[in-house]
Chains A and B, each alone.
Chain A
Amino acid sequence: MAAFVVTDSLKQLIGQKEKPVVLKIEEGAIQRYARAVGDSNPLFSDVEYAAQSKWGRVMAPPGFTGWPIASGFDMFKLFERLAKAGAPMGLLDGGVEYDFLAPIGDGDILVMEIKIAGIEGRETKMGPTMVTTIESTFTNQRGAVALITRNTFLNF
């Protein structure tokens, strides 16, 4: 076995930016997410409780925003482009890093900017593996960067 070799056509995708996506954060979607992950914090689900809190509205649990919640951005289209450029077909989520820079909650409008931050070749227990890092920056309606995410995907 050996490390995956990153081809020139894959290298050309590094730094490529996607078309920005506008995300409207709303409490119904937050509530469904909080229920689905089993987080019973009333700040993320109880409208009356949240209204009395210092934020005055239902807040999104950290990590609510970002792929794959970002409706309007289809990560799988990006994976297809990587596959056309030579990425192996096996695909697993490798992990994620978040910088939470400002609170995000009901009513916020975020602009998500996405780019392929890096593509590396490695050897893992799955065999030769391509490691792709996708960085997304979320700017809120007040012009502040509220969140930066770095998702890592493994193609093998």
Chain B
Amino acid sequence: MAKQLYYEDVEVGSEITPLKKIATTRMLVQYAGASGDFNPLHYEEDFAKSLGVGKPIVHGLLKRAWLVNLMTDWIGEKGGLKKLSCRYRGMDYPRKMKTFDEPHDGDTWWCKGKVTKKFVQGDENLVECEIWVENDKGEKNTTGSALTALPSKAK
């Protein structure tokens, strides 16, 4: 595991360690099975077209899971994620598969974030963050916020 982050380590404006992700058609099928979200919007071309999104799109919930991954990796096991929210503002499209397990070239996404506020409430050291998923073109199609509690070096 990554080293533990402490309340004293962060300031307003501090960057969350970015997390790189790709999505492939295979991963969307895997996510559908693991999550139970079998909406054909995520695997059937004609259905996706009929909804006006062009072709199958990445599950919003998968991008949300990436943002959770971003936060839990950053705050470490002694940190606690208290709130997280995100909105899906645009479509993202998966890479298609070249072989069983190797995708074609395509989009890469970066999950990023920064600290917007830090404060003590009761006995908790709280840190608020702005978080987002950004594509190669720098478009933020998924944006949100998170509230976490971090351990203090003082304790």
Contact = CB atoms under 8 A, between A and B. Distances in A.
Nearest to A29: B34
B52 A90 contact: yes
A125 to B, nearest CB: 9
Chain A interface residue count: which class? 20 to 34
B104 interface: no
B85 A35 contact: no
Interface string B1-21: 100000000000000000001
Contacts of A42: 1
Interface string B51-79: 11100000111101110110111000100
A63 interface: yes
Interface in B33-59: 33-37, 39, 41, 51-53, 59
Contacts of B60: 92-96
Contact of B65 (A37, A100, A126): A37
A70 B36 CA distance: 8
B95 to A, nearest CB: 14
A91 to B, nearest CB: 8
Nearest to B84: A98
**Which of A37, A43, A96, A152 has most chain B Cβ within 10 Å?**
A37
Contacts of A68: 35-37, 61
Contacts of B77: 43, 53-54
A32 B33 contact: yes
Interface string A74-92: 0010000000000000111
A103 to B, nearest CB: 8
Interface residues of B, number: 38
B86 to A, nearest CB: 6
Contacts of A99: 82-83
Contacts of A93: 59-61, 88
B105 to A, nearest CB: 18
Interface of B: 1, 21, 27, 30-31, 33-37, 39, 41, 51-53, 59-62, 64-66, 68-69, 71-73, 77, 80-88, 144
30 contacts: A29-B34, A32-B34, A33-B34, A36-B27, A36-B33, A37-B31, A37-B34, A37-B66, A41-B73, A54-B77, A61-B65, A61-B69, A62-B81, A63-B65, A71-B36, A76-B39, A90-B51, A91-B51, A92-B41, A92-B51, A92-B53, A94-B60, A95-B85, A95-B86, A95-B87, A96-B61, A96-B85, A96-B86, A97-B83, A97-B85
Interface of A: 29, 32-33, 35-39, 41-43, 53-54, 61-63, 68-71, 76, 90-100, 126, 152
